[in-house]
C-alpha cells in the first residue's frame, strides 16, 4: 500500500539503489584511479615546478613546454592518444620485424561476496594502467602550476640565507624552500585535489568500468536514465565536498604563524 | 576513404568538418555562461543573503558534477527536453546547455571576484556625484571589473573549448569526433590523428591564454591600463 | 697572505652592461672590524655577495685564509660554512622556530647531533640575548629580534669572519639600538667582521679601518679618526655631512658603551 503513495521519483531512486553493488564497485574504481592520479601527478608536478624555477635553460624550457601542451589540449585527446599509442608502436615494430610490446589480457583483481552480491574489483589491467597514466600525466601539469606559484612566492632570500651557512643549493631547496612552499600551496592545491575525481569519468571512453560506466549499465537494465545520472551526480558532489572540507581542516591544523 | 590518409588530409579534414562545430559550441556555451555567471555574481555581491545562498549553491552544484555527466543528462537524460527539436539536433542543444550551465558556475566566481576587487572608493565617488546604484555599477564598477576579469576569463575560455571535446560521445561532429573517425579504420594512425587535433586545440588555446593571461595583464596595468 | 683571514684582490663585477665593482681590493686580519660605506648603488652589497661567492666576481680573486675561492674544484659550500652572513632583510627561515633557525646549519652542514646542535644554538641565542624567544617563530618576533636571531645563526657556525649587509637599514629606528648593541659586543669580543652600514657611530666605536666605496671604486680608506677628523676627498666630506644629519641619535648608546 505504501508503495502506491510514494511519488514516482522516489520509487525510481529506490530501484536504482537496488544496484548498489554496481555503484559501489564503480565508486571504488573511480577513487582508485583518483588516488593514484593525484599521487603520481603530485610528484611529477613537483618535479616540473622545480625544474621550471631552478632548472637550467634547457630543462626549464622542456618542463614549461610539457605543462603548456598538456594544459592546452583536452584530456579526452590525451587519453585516446596514449591508449592507441601501443597499437601504433606495435604496428611499426612489426613492420620492422622487431618484437612488440605485449598488450595482453592480464588483470589483477579481487572478488568478494557482500550481502549476497558478488563483486569484482580490478586493481590493475591494461586499460586501468592507461587510465591512471593519462590522468597522472594530465594532473601533473595542473599541479605543476600551483606548486610553481607557491615556490615562486618564497623569497629568494631564503635560499641565499641557506647557502650563506654552507648548505648546498639542493639542500637549501629541499629543506628550506620546499617545506614552506608545500604549506603555502595547500589552499590552491586543495582545489585540484578536490575536483580531480570529476575528471576520472573520461576513462569511460576506453572501457573502464568506473562509476559513470556502471551508470550506463544500470540505465540499460532499468531505463531510468535521469534518476541514474542524478544519483551519480550526487555521489560526485558528496565526494568532492568531503575532500574539500578535509583539506580545509588539514590546512588549519598545519598552520604556522607567518607562513 | 579507400586509401590511407596522410597528415595533410587529416589536418584539413578536421578543420573543415569539425572546427565550426567546436567553435560554435564553445561560443554559445560561453555566452550562456556569461549571462548566468554575471547574474549570479550580482546576486551574491549586491543581493540579499538568501539569494546569495542560492547563487552559492548553484555554483557548488555545477562545479561538482563532471561536465561529461552534465552533457549526458541534458542530451539524453531528460525526456521531453528539446522535444521541439529534431532528434539529431537535441544533443547539440544538450551540450550547449551543459557547457553553459557549468561555465555559469565558474564565471560567477570570476565576476564576483572581479567586482569585489574594484576599489570601493570608485563606487563611493560615483554616488557622490549623484549616480544611483545601477548607474554606478554599469558605468564605473562594471567596466573596471571586466578588465580585472580578463585573465581568469581567458582561462575559462580555454576550459570550455577543451570541454567541447566531450561532445564526441553524444554524436556531435566536432574536432575530436572527426579526428577519431578518420583513424577509426586505421588504428595505427590514431595517435597521429590525435596529435594533429591536439595541435589545433593548442592553436586556439595557447595564444589566447598567453596574451590575456596573468602576466600580460599585469604588464598592461603597469602602463596604466586595467582596473582599480 | 696566510695571516689574513680575507684577501679581496682586484674584484670586478658587472650586471649586463652596468659595471658595479671596478677593481676593489682590501685585506682583513683576524679580529679586525672593517666598515664599508658609501652612497646607495655603490656596489657594497654586491661586494659582500662576491666574498661568499653567492654571486661570483667576473674578475679578481677572493682568498679565505689563503685559499682561493675562485679556483675551480673548490667546495664552495664548505667555504661558505666558514663565512657568516647577516642580511638586511634578515632572511630567517620562516617555517622554523628561532632555535631551529640557528641549529639547522649545525645539524645539516656541520653534522652535529640534534642535542649538540640545540645546545650550541642556545648558546648563540644567549649571546644575542634571545634565548627566551627560542621557541618562537620569526613572524612572532620584531625586526630587531629577528635580526639578532640572524646574527646568532651566523655566530653558531663559528665562522672565520662574518659579513653584515646593512643589518640595521630595514629596522624601525627604535629597534636599531638593540642590534647595534649586539654587534658592538661581538666586535669587542674579537669577532672578525666586514660591515656595510651607514651607522657612523658604530664605525667610530669599533672599526679598525673604514672604506668609502662609490660607484664600484674605493675612493678613500683609513681609520675612523682619519675620516671624522680630516677626510681628504670632497665626495667623502659631502657624504659624511649628509649622514651625520641622519644618524646623530645613537651618540648616547655609544657614549655608554665607550665608558665600559
CATH number at residue B172: 1.10.3720.10
Q: What is the DSSP code string of C30-97?
A: TT-EEEEE-STTSSHHHHHHHHTTSS--SEEEEEETTEETTSTT--HHHHHTTEEEE-TT----TTS-
**Does the residue B218 lie in any domain?**
yes
CA distances from B80 to A10, B75, B138 (A): 20, 11, 39
Q: Could you give the CA distance from residue B58 to residue B36 in angstroms, rounded to a whole number? A: 10
**Does the residue B200 lie in any domain?**
yes
**Amino acid B96: pLDDT:** 94
Q: Which of C94, C121, C124, C166 to mutate: most A Cβ within 10 Å?
A: C94
Judge: C89–A157 Cβ closer than 8 Å, yes or no.
yes
To the nearest whole angstrom, how far is the Cα of A98 from the nearest Cα of chain B?
16
Residue B14 forms contact with A (CB below 8 Å): no
* Number of structural domains chain B divides into: 1
CB atoms within 10 A of CB B84: 9
**Does the residue B1 lie in any domain?**
no
- What's the grid cell of residue A98? 622487431
Judge: C137–A161 Cβ closer than 8 Å, yes or no.
no
Residue with cell 648608546: C253
**Amino acid B159: pLDDT:** 95
How do residues B72-87 score in pLDDT, each as one tens digit?
999 888 877 777 777 7
Residue B104 near residue B41 (C-beta atoms within 8 A): no
Q: Could you give the CA distance from residue B87 to residue B68 in angstroms, rounded to a whole number? A: 20
Q: Could you give the CA distance from residue A84 to residue A22 in angstroms, rounded to a whole number? A: 28
Chain A residues with CB-CB distance to B69 below 8 A? 201, 212, 229, 232-233, 236
Check residue C134 and report its DSSP letter: T
Judged by DSSP in three states, C158 sits in coil
The more confidently predicted of residues C69 and A224 is: C69
Judge: B79–A226 Cβ closer than 8 Å, yes or no.
yes
To the nearest whole angstrom, how far is the Cα of A59 from the nearest Cα of chain C?
22
- What's the grid cell of residue B98? 551543459
Closest CA to C203 of C217, C216, C222: C222
Judge: B69–A201 Cβ closer than 8 Å, yes or no.
yes
Nearest 5°: phi and psi at C116? -55, -50
- What's the grid cell of residue A109? 583483481
**Does the residue B2 lie in any domain?**
no
Q: Could you give the CA distance from residue A203 to residue A132 in angstroms, rounded to a whole number? A: 9
**Amino acid A120: pLDDT:** 84
Closest CA to A194 of A237, A145, A252: A237
Domain extent for B213: 7-222
**Does the residue B150 lie in any domain?**
yes
Q: Could you give the CA distance from residue C108 to residue C116 in angstroms, rounded to a whole number? A: 12
Residues 6+ apart with CB under 8 A from C234: none
Residue A210 near residue A197 (C-beta atoms within 8 A): no
- In the predicted model, what is the mean pLDDT of residues C113-130? 95
Judge: A161–C91 Cβ closer than 8 Å, yes or no.
yes
The rounded mean pLDDT for chain A is 89
Q: Give the chain A residue nearest C159 (alpha carbons).
A: A165
Judge: C91–A257 Cβ closer than 8 Å, yes or no.
no
Judge: C105–A176 Cβ closer than 8 Å, yes or no.
no
- What's the grid cell of residue C44? 657594497
Q: Burial of C113 by CB count in 10 Å (0-12 exposed, 13-18 middle, 19+ buried)?
A: exposed
Give first-to-last CA distance, chain C, whole Å.
Answer: 35
Q: Could you give the CA distance from residue B51 to residue C20 in angstroms, rounded to a whole number? A: 61
**Amino acid B119: pLDDT:** 80
Chain C residues with CB-CB distance to A181 below 8 A? none
To the nearest whole angstrom, how far is the Cα of A205 from the nearest Cα of chain B?
8
Is it the case that residue A3 has pLDDT exceeding 60?
Answer: no
How do residues B127-148 score in pLDDT, each as one tens digit?
787 778 788 888 888 888 998 8
Residue A166 is nearest to which of C94, C109, C137, comparing CB atoms? Answer: C109
Q: Could you give the CA distance from residue C33 to residue C164 in angstroms, rounded to a whole number? A: 11
What is the DSSP pairing of strand C59-64 with strand C67-68?
antiparallel
Alpha helices (runs of H) in chain B, residue ranges in sequence order: 7-46, 49-64, 67-72, 90-117, 120-128, 133-135, 142-163, 175-184, 190-212, 214-222
Let me know if chains B and A touch, i.e. at least 3 Cβ pairs under 8 angstroms: yes
Tell me the pTM.
0.84
CA distances from B87 to A126, A220, B99, C16 (A): 37, 20, 19, 67
**Does the residue B203 lie in any domain?**
yes
What is the Cβ-side half-sphere exposure of residue C173, based on CA atoms within 13 angstroms? Answer: 5
How do residues C44-89 score in pLDDT, each as one tens digit?
999 999 999 998 999 999 999 988 999 888 998 999 999 999 999 9
The more confidently predicted of residues B100 and B50 is: B100
Polymer length of chain A: 259
To the nearest whole angstrom, how far is the Cα of B26 from the nearest Cα of chain A?
13
**Does the residue B196 lie in any domain?**
yes
Residue B66 forms contact with A (CB below 8 Å): yes
**Does the residue B86 lie in any domain?**
yes
Residue B103 near residue B112 (C-beta atoms within 8 A): no
Chain A residues with CB-CB distance to C55 below 8 A? none
Closest CA to A132 of A5, A29, A12: A29
Is it the case that residue B50 has pLDDT exceeding 90?
Answer: no
Amino acid at each position: 500500500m505504501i508503495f502506491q503513495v510514494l511519488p514516482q521519483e522516489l520509487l525510481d531512486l529506490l530501484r536504482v539503489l537496488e544496484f548498489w553493488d554496481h555503484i559501489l564497485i564503480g565508486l571504488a574504481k573511480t577513487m582508485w584511479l583518483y588516488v593514484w592520479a593525484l599521487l603520481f601527478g603530485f610528484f611529477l608536478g613537483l618535479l616540473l615546478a622545480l625544474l621550471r624555477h631552478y632548472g637550467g635553460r634547457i630543462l626549464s624550457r622542456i618542463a614549461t613546454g610539457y605543462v603548456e601542451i598538456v594544459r592546452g589540449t583536452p584530456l579526452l585527446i590525451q587519453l585516446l592518444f596514449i591508449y592507441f599509442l601501443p597499437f601504433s608502436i606495435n604496428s611499426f615494430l612489426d613492420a620492422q620485424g622487431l618484437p612488440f610490446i605485449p598488450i595482453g589480457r592480464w588483470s589483477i583483481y579481487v572478488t568478494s561476496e557482500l550481502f549476497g552480491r558478488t563483486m569484482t574489483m580490478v586493481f590493475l589491467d591494461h586499460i586501468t594502467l592507461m587510465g591512471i597514466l593519462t590522468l597522472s600525466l594530465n594532473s601533473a601539469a595542473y599541479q605543476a602550476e600551483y606548486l610553481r606559484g607557491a615556490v615562486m612566492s618564497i623569497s629568494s632570500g631564503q635560499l641565499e640565507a641557506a647557502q650563506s651557512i654552507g648548505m648546498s643549493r639542493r639542500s637549501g631547496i629541499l629543506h628550506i624552500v620546499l617545506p614552506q612552499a608545500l604549506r603555502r600551496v595547500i589552499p590552491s592545491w586543495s582545489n585540484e585535489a578536490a575536483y580531480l575525481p570529476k575528471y576520472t569519468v573520461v576513462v569511460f571512453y576506453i572501457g573502464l568500468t568506473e562509476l559513470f560506466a556502471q551508470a550506463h549499465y544500470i540505465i540499460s537494465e532499468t531505463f531510468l536514465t535521469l534518476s541514474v545520472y542524478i544519483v551519480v551526480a550526487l555521489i560526485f558532489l558528496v565526494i568532492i565536498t568531503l575532500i574539500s572540507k578535509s583539506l580545509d581542516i588539514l590546512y588549519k591544523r598545519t598552520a604556522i604563524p607567518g607562513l | 576513404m579507400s586509401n590511407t590518409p596522410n597528415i595533410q588530409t587529416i589536418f584539413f579534414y578536421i578543420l573543415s568538418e569539425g572546427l565550426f562545430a567546436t567553435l560554435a559550441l564553445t561560443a554559445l556555451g560561453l555566452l550562456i555562461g556569461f549571462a548566468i555567471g554575471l547574474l549570479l555574481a550580482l546576486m551574491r555581491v549586491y543581493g540579499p543573503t538568501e539569494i546569495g545562498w542560492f547563487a552559492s549553491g548553484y555554483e557548488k552544484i555545477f562545479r561538482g558534477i563532471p561536465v561529461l555527466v552534465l552533457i549526458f543528462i541534458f542530451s539524453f537524460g531528460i525526456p521531453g527536453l528539446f522535444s521541439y527539436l529534431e532528434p539529431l539536433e537535441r544533443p547539440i542543444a544538450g551540450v550547449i546547455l551543459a557547457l553553459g550551465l557549468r561555465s555559469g558556475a565558474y564565471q560567477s566566481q570570476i565576476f564576483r571576484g572581479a567586482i569585489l576587487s574594484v576599489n570601493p572608493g570608485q563606487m563611493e565617488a560615483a554616488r557622490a556625484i549623484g549616480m544611483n546604484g545601477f548607474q554606478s555599477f554599469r558605468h564605473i564598477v562594471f567596466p573596471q571589473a571586466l578588465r580585472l576579469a580578463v585573465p581568469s576569463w581567458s582561462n575559462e575560455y580555454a576550459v570550455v573549448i577543451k570541454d567541447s571535446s566531450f561532445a564526441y560521445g553524444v554524436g556531435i561532429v566536432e574536432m575530436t569526433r572527426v579526428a577519431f573517425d578518420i583513424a577509426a579504420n586505421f588504428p595505427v594512425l590514431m595517435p597521429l590523428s590525435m596529435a594533429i587535433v591536439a595541435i589545433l586545440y593548442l592553436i586556439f588555446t595557447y595564444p589566447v591564454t598567453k596574451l590575456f593571461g596573468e602576466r600580460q595583464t599585469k604588464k598592461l596595468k603597469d602602463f596604466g591600463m586595467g582596473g582599480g | 697572505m696566510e695571516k689574513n683571514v680575507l684577501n679581496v684582490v682586484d674584484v670586478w663585477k658587472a650586471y649586463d652592461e652596468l659595471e658595479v665593482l671596478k677593481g676593489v681590493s682590501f685585506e682583513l686580519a683576524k679580529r679586525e672590524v672593517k666598515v664599508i660605506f658609501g652612497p646607495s648603488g655603490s656596489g657594497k652589497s654586491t661586494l659582500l655577495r662576491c666574498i661568499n661567492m653567492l654571486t661570483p666576481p667576473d674578475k679578481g680573486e677572493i682568498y679565505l685564509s689563503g685559499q682561493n675561492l675562485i679556483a675551480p674544484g673548490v667546495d664552495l659550500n664548505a667555504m661558505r660554512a666558514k663565512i657568516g652572513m647577516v642580511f638586511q632583510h634578515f632572511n630567517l627561515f620562516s617555517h622554523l622556530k628561532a632555535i631551529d633557525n640557528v641549529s639547522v646549519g649545525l645539524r645539516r652542514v656541520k653534522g652535529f647531533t640534534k642535542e649538540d646542535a640545540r645546545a650550541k644554538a642556545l648558546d648563540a641565542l644567549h649571546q644575542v640575548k634571545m634565548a627566551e624567544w627560542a621557541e618562537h617563530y620569526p613572524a612572532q618576533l620584531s625586526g630587531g629580534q629577528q635580526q639578532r636571531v640572524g646574527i646568532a645563526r651566523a655566530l653558531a657556525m663559528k665562522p672565520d669572519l662574518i659579513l653584515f649587509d646593512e643589518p640595521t637599514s630595514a629596522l624601525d629606528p627604535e629597534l636599531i639600538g638593540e642590534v647595534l648593541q649586539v654587534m658592538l659586543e661581538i666586535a669587542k669580543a674579537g669577532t672578525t667582521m666586514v660591515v656595510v652600514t651607514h651607522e657612523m657611530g658604530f664605525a667610530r666605536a669599533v672599526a679598525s679601518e673604514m672604506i668609502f666605496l662609490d660607484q664600484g671604486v674605493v675612493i678613500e680608506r683609513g681609520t675612523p679618526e682619519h675620516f671624522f677628523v680630516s677626510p681628504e676627498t670632497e665626495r667623502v666630506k659631502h657624504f659624511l655631512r649628509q649622514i651625520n644629519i641622519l644618524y646623530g641619535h645613537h651618540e648616547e648608546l655609544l657614549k655608554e658603551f665607550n665608558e665600559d
